[in-house]
Structure 1
C-alpha cells in the first residue's frame, strides 16, 4: 500500500462507522442525548464532518463542502457558517437538531468524497508540507490528516455508543 491508499482506507473506515451509527434513525433518535450535558448522534456526526471538511479543505486549498454544496443552507442551524462545533457548550450542542439521517449521511459522504479525491493524489513528500504554523512544532499535512482521522474515529465511536444506549431505552 502506498500513502494515498493507507489514508483512503482510514477515511473509509470512518465512513463505515458513521453510516452504521446513523442508518435508519429518526430525527428524534439522532437528537437523543443520554443527559443534558451529553452529545447527540446528530451533533457528533455533524461535528466530525465539519472538522474534516474544514481541515481538509484548508489543507487542499478547496472550498468547504458545507457552504460550496449548500449544506449550510439545507441544515439551517442557528450557528455561524464557519462553526465546526469545536468548544461547543451543552446549549450549542442542542442547536444541532432536526436533521434526517439521510441529510446527515449525504453531508458526510460529500465531505468523504472530497477528502478521498484529495488524499488519493498525495505522495509521501506531500505529507511533510507545513499546513499550520500556529502550533509548536508546526503542523504538517501528515499530522493534520492523522489528527482528523483520529478525531473522526473517536466521535464516530461515541455516536455508535449513543446509538447503543438509545436502543436499550
Structure 2
C-alpha cells in the first residue's frame, strides 16, 4: 500500500464508520442534538460535506463537485442554532452528496504526486497542517472526528451498538 492508497483507505474507513452510525437514523433523528451545546446531526453532515469540498478546492482548484445552491450557507456557523427541518437535507441527500464529494477527493488523490503531498499547505492551514499531505489526512479523518458525537445520540434514541 502506498501513501495515496492509505489516504483513500482512511477516507473509506471514516465514511464507513459514519455510515454505520447513520444507517438506522431517520430524517427526524438528524435534527436532534447529541448533547447540550452540540450541533444537530443534519448541520454536522452539511458541515462535513462543505468542508471536504472547500479543503479539496484549496489543494486542487476545480477538482471538487458543485453543491446545491445555498448548501454552504445553510450549513454555516451562522445557522448552527437553526432547528427547522425544512432548511436541511434528507439523510439520503446527505449520503448522496458525501459520495460525490468523496469520489472527487479520491480522483484528486489519484492525480496528486507524492512530491506534491510534501508541498506547503495553503497559508491559512499551515499552523496545524503544514503540508498538502497533512490537509489530505484531515480530509480523510474529518468524518471520524464528528462520528463520535453520534454515539451519545444513538444511546439516547435506544439504537443498538453498530461498531
Query: Into which bin does the TM-score normalised by the smaller protein fall?
Result: 0.7 to 0.9
Question: What is the CA-CA distance between 1:166 and the residue it aligns to?
Answer: 2.4
Q: Matched residue pairs, number?
A: 157
Residues 45, 159 of structure 1: 8 Å contact kept = no
1:72 corresponds to 2:63: no
Q: Distance in 2 between matches of 1:15 and 1:47?
A: 14
Q: Does 1:149 align with 2:140?
A: yes
Give me the TM-score of the superposition, normalised by structure 1: 0.76
Q: Supply the distance in 2 between the matched residues of 1:3 and 1:164 (Cα, whole angstroms).
A: 36
TM-aligned CA distance change 1:60 to 1:136, over 3 Å: closer
**Relative to structure 1, is the Cα distance of residues 162 and 149 closer, same or farther in structure 2, using a 3 angstrom cutoff?**
farther
The equivalences for 1:13-162 within 5 A come to: 13-35=13-35, 37-62=37-62, 64-65=64-65, 68=66, 71-73=67-69, 80=73, 85=76, 87=77, 90-92=80-82, 94=83, 97-134=87-124, 137=127, 139-162=130-153
Separation (CA, whole Å) in 2 of partners of 1:100 and 1:140: 35
Does structure 2 retain, via aligned residues, the 8 Å contact 1:14–1:149? yes
CA distance in 1, matches of 2:57, 2:126: 22
Q: How far did residue 102 of structure 1 move?
A: 0.8
Give per-residue Cα distances to partners, 1:140-160, cap 9 Å, x unaligned.
201111223333211123234
Normalising by structure 2, we get a TM-score of 0.79
Q: 1:98 to 1:122 in 2, by over 3 A?
A: closer
> 1 CA distance for matches of 2:80 and 2:124?
28
Instruction: Give unmatched runs, 5+ long, in structure 2.
Output: none
Q: Superposition RMSD on alpha carbons, in Å?
A: 2.7
Structure 1: 5+ residue stretches without partners: none
Query: Which stretches of structure 1, 4 residues or longer, exceed 6 Å deviation after superposition?
Result: none
* 1:167 corresponds to 2:158: yes
Return the offset for 1:135: 5.3
